[in-house]
Structure 1
Amino acid sequence: MTKIFYSAQDVADLIGVSVSKAYQIIAQMNSELKEKGYLVQRGRVPIAYFNDRFYGGVSLGE
């Protein structure tokens, strides 16, 4: 099964921030997604949306 969400630990590792900061980033992204009408999962962010926001849609090979 393919992973479709990043956890706070994944985000922290990818961008070099603390887990606490990663949770803040995820909360912001989930807020943006919620405003667009998407369902969100607390503490996780879709990989596709994360890649779009941080890397301009470039896949990191996951």
Structure 2
Amino acid sequence: MEKTNTFMTVVDVMECLEVSESKAYRIIRLLNKELKEKGYIVIPGRVSRQYFNERFYGITKPDEEVSDNAGL
């Protein structure tokens, strides 16, 4: 069984997005800044895999379905 880490490192972001190391660090800093502004504790140089997937791919948890008819 493959273990999936909760956090992504700069290498993970580089491989996932096929970007340079400096670009990956900029992305991590941006995402961590957003999380910090929302009141979350962040770890420099790492980003939440869940938040990364939400921001880049619009992927949410299975119990958080996105609906076009929200509130209707």
Q: Same fold (TM over 0.5)?
A: yes
Where 2:30 maps in the other structure, the secondary structure is helix
Matched residue, 1:43: 45
Q: What are the equivalent positions in structure 2 for 1:1-62 lying under 5 Å apart?
A: 2-57=4-59
Identify the structure with the greater helix proportion: 1
Larger Rg: 2
RMSD: 1.6
- Report Cα offsets for 1:10-47 as digits up to 9, x if no partner: 00100010011000000000000000000000000000
Q: How many positions carry a matched residue from both structures?
A: 59
TM value normalised by structure 2: 0.76
Please report how far the alpha carbon of residue 6 of structure 1 lies from its aligned counterpart in structure 2 after TM superposition. 0.3
**Greater shift in the superposed pair: 26-35 or 1-10:** 1-10
Give identity over the alignment, percent. Answer: 53
Structure 1: runs of 5+ lacking an equivalent: none
Find runs of 4+ consecutive structure 1 residues off by over 6 angstroms: none
TM value normalised by structure 1: 0.88
Where 2:35 maps in the other structure, the secondary structure is helix
Identify the structure with the greater strand proportion: 1
